[in-house]
Amino acid sequence: MRLTLTSGALLLLVCPVPLLAQDGAQVAFAPVTQAPVPVQSASGMFSSLSPPNQRNCPYKEVSGRVVSPRLIMVKEMFCRGPGHDNVLVNVQFRNAADAAQMVTGRQVAITARFKSAEEDRDPLFYAEFLIAEKAELMADDPRDHPALPAPAFTSYMMCQAPELDALAGRLGNELCVQSTIVENITAAGPALETAVRAPANASPADMAPGDPEAISCRHDRGVSDRHLPAIACARNSYWAWYKAQWRDPHSSTPAPP
C-alpha cells in the first residue's frame, strides 16, 4: 500500500494500456512508477508531500552531516525568524546518482537553490521545512569519507517507506515509522507488527511508559502529511523526545537514534 491521497493530492498508479486513436493507431499512456517522496521537517517530527508557504532562503551553499541519501543535518540555518540549531535539510539532487555518495555520518557540502516552507500542524505549532533544490555536491576532503558507514546518530519519522508496503497493506492503513526501525526492519519487524495492531490514542504531550527501546504506536496526530492520516510507530525513547519537542518547538536537541 503506497498512498491514499485526498483533498487535491491525487496519485494515479497505472499500467500502460493501449488505446485506439481516431486513425486506428495504438496509443499507450506511460506508467507512473514512483510515488512522490515526502519531505521531512527541520526537526524530523513531521513529513509533508508538498508543504505550503515556500520562500527562497538566502543561502547558496551549506555543509552538514549525512543522515540519509536525502537528508543532511546542518548546524544552523536562518531562513525565517531566529533560526535553529541541528536542522534537517531535504536534499534534492540535480543528478540523482549523487545520492550514492551520501554515506550516513559523512560531512558534505552542497550548493543548491534553498527554500523554506511552513505548515500549520496545530493551533500552536508550525512545522518548518528546509529544501535544497537542484543540489550538487562540492569537492571535499577525503578524510571526511569514513571507511564504513557511521552508526545512526539521529532519527526521523519515515512515512510510506517501501519496506512497510506489505505490512501497511495487511493493516489497510498508512504507516509512519521511526527511520532507524525501518533501517533494521528484519530484526524489528515482529515487534513493530505487534505494536501496530494496538495503536494508542495518545496526544503529543503523552510519554510512552516502559522500556525506552520498546516500540509503540499511536494513531497519527499530524505526523504524516495532512492528506495521509496514518499510524505512527517509534521507540519509547523517541516519544519522550517528541513530548519535549512539542513543549519546546525551538529546542535543537536531535531525536534519539
Say if residue 172 is in the same domain as residue 198.
yes
Indicate whether 209 belongs to any domain: yes
Report CA dihedral (249, 121, 233, 42) to the nearest 10 degrees.
-50
At residue 83 the predicted structure's pLDDT band, cuts being 50, 70 and 90, is low
In a domain, 15, yes or no: no
pLDDT at 53 over 70: yes
More confident residue, 151 or 29: 151
Residues 175 and 81 in one domain: no
Position 35 confidence tier, pLDDT thresholds 50, 70, 90: low
Instruction: Report which secondary-structure segment, H or E, holds 227.
Output: none
Least confident of 29-38, 122-131, 165-174, 200-209: 29-38
What is the spatial distance between Cα 253 and Cα 42, in angstroms, rounded to a whole number?
A: 12
DSSP structure class, residue 173: S
The pLDDT of residue 22: 43
Distances (CA, A) of 186 to 165, 178, 248: 14, 14, 34
Give the domain extent around 65.
39-144
Q: For residue 169, tell me if it sits in a domain.
A: yes
pLDDT value, residue 85: 83
Is position 186 within any domain? yes
* C-alpha dist (Å) from residue 102 to 56, 131, 146, 147, 221: 24, 16, 11, 13, 31
Domain presence at residue 6: no
- pLDDT (0 to 100) of residue 71: 96
Express as a percent the part of the chain with pLDDT over 70.
76
Structural domain contains residue 153: no
CA distance 67 to 70: 8
Residue 131 or 33, more confident: 131
**Does residue 128 surpass a pLDDT of 70?**
yes
**Cell numbers of 212, please?**
525506552
What is the model's pTM? Answer: 0.77
CA angle in degrees (0–180, nearest 5) for 55-56-58: 135
How do residues 173-212 score in pLDDT, each as one tens digit? Answer: 889 999 999 999 999 999 999 999 999 998 877 888 889 9
**Are 106 and 177 within one domain?**
no
Number of domains in the chain: 2
| Residues ≥6 apart with Cβ < 8 Å to 47 | 38, 39, 40, 41, 157, 158, 159, 176, 223, 224, 225
Given 116, 144, 172, the domain boundary residue is: 144
**Using CA atoms, how far apart are residues 72 and 49, in angstroms rounded to an integer?**
18
Same domain, 139 and 165: no
The alpha-helical segments, DSSP class H, found in the chain are 165-171, 179-183, 185-196, 236-247
Residue 114 lies in a domain: yes
Mean pLDDT lowest for which of 6-20, 31-45, 82-96, 227-241? 6-20
Mean pLDDT (whole number) for 60-69: 94
State yes or no: pLDDT of 124 exceeds 60.
yes
- Closest Cα partner for 134 from 94, 95, 107? 94
Same domain? 71 vs 121:
yes
The CATH number covering residue 102 comes to 2.40.50
Check residue 2 and give its pLDDT. 35
Which cell numbers in the block locate residue 193? 507488527
Q: Looking at the DSSP assignment, which residues form a beta bridge with residue 48? A: 39
Q: Which of 111-125, 131-145, 226-240 shows the lowest mean pLDDT across its residues?
A: 131-145
